Structure 1
Amino acid sequence: MVLEKELEGKSLDQLLEVACQELGCMPEDLELEILEVTSSSGLLGMPSKKIKIKAKLKPDKMLSERANKALTFLKDLFYYTDFQIETQTNLLKDKLQIEILLKGEDLKYLVQNGGEVLSALEFLTNKIVAKSLGVGPKIVLKPEGINLEREKRLISAVKRAIEKVKTTKEPQIIKVGSQREERIVLNLVKPEKNIEAVVEGEGKQKKVILQWTNS
């Protein structure tokens, strides 16, 4: 989908009509910027005027159209996979970005392992929309109540701590801010035969201690 177009013609009304045809929209969906107006002597000395404009889709129109296309794809996907996941859309006009908030009991299947499945789904959603409407504002899939970037950093920190325990045999401490983060740490440590995880503290003071064992 073309988001803006530069056009040149004899009248503003003519250019507006052409812009609507080429951008596939109504006049009220457009923002117009007059770039240049020139006058010259035409045939038989009659004055001739040319107008050059830039026509572009308003952010509301552009974002809502892409959001609708993304939601159609996601809702169909969740329906056929029988995933209980609800969607809520935020159009971020300042960032020229579409944020789709996901929530529901089956969200857990998308956010495992630092959200690898969710990242793949976000990539696919953007590809589907771009194929239909052309390249445009990014669509971001955001799980409700989960900070995936923080979780990715946590996973990296736990992996480094595991390697350090194996090398030095010294305990390593990982701070966790929620039960979900605690489960992430415990699941990463679980396959390690000679490392045990001990949970200590409560609330903001909760931590998981990784320590070497000879068993």
Structure 2
Amino acid sequence: MEKELEGKSLDQLIEVACQELGCIPEDLELEILEFSSSSGLLGIPGKKIRIKARIKTDKVLSERANRALMFLKELLNYADFKIDVKANILKDKMQVEILLSGEDIKYLIQNGAEPLTALEFLTNKVVARALGVGPKIVLKLEGIDIEKEKKLVNAVRRAIEKIKTNKEPQIIKISSQREQRIVVNIVKQEENIDYKIEGEGKQKKVILNWKE
């Protein structure tokens, strides 16, 4: 998203930068790398200007956010999913965050959130095809911490493997009804693993046992 150019006129270099980057002068951020003058042929003074031109961060992120929103709204509408989308520009991280909400986000968190991961990958591909490779677009679900839930799923699966190996009970700490459902749904798929829930609030836990 940036070009290094050299010439004799700053106006000319700006024009070239706009053509190559596909923008207008107001969207450019310029860095003067070299500015010098010398006596040229027959004593006529000459200039040498070298600049680095890039599109402003706000412009880059907003364009990618708009393109991602357009794609997602069209796709979700076509799939008849009741999911709302809105974009957040994260300048400090140089990212676009798309927040998804609505009753049908439940379909995106099945199988360890594989549908959400695939949708994020597809969104980045579509935007890159339209605007070129650039800042990443991250999809997040409102009220759900996918990374935390992935760690919980992995912890439960490790605990199950330990029980199968040494038959000793394993404890999984949980902090919400949703986390409890995640643990219970995984355990129910195991014929020889039983569970019981103890405690309240932050002390709540699921105890996994080998079932004889």
- TM (norm. structure 2) is 0.96
Displacement after TM superposition at 1:44 (Å)? 2.3
Equivalent runs, 1:1-215 vs 2, <5 Å:
3-214=1-212
- For 1:94, give the aligned amino acid: D
Q: SS at the partner of 2:34?
A: strand
- For 1:177, give the aligned amino acid: S
Displacement after TM superposition at 1:17 (Å)? 1.4
Q: Distance in 2 between matches of 1:167 and 1:91?
A: 48
Q: Distance in 1 between matches of 2:69 and 2:144?
A: 20
Displacement after TM superposition at 1:187 (Å)? 0.9
Kept after mapping to 1: 8 A contact 2:69/2:86? no
Q: Distance in 2 between matches of 1:151 and 1:32?
A: 44
Which residues of structure 1 form unaligned runs of 5+?
none
Displacement after TM superposition at 1:42 (Å)? 2.5
- For 1:203, give the aligned amino acid: G
Which residues of structure 2 form unaligned runs of 5+?
none
Displacement after TM superposition at 1:41 (Å)? 2.4
Displacement after TM superposition at 1:73 (Å)? 0.9
Percent identity between the two aligned chains:
72
> What's the Cα RMSD here?
1.1
How many residue pairs match? The answer is 212
Q: Distance in 2 between matches of 1:8 and 1:168?
A: 70
- For 2:122, give the aligned amino acid: L
Displacement after TM superposition at 1:61 (Å)? 0.2
- For 2:66, give the aligned amino acid: N
Q: Distance in 2 between matches of 1:55 and 1:114?
A: 43
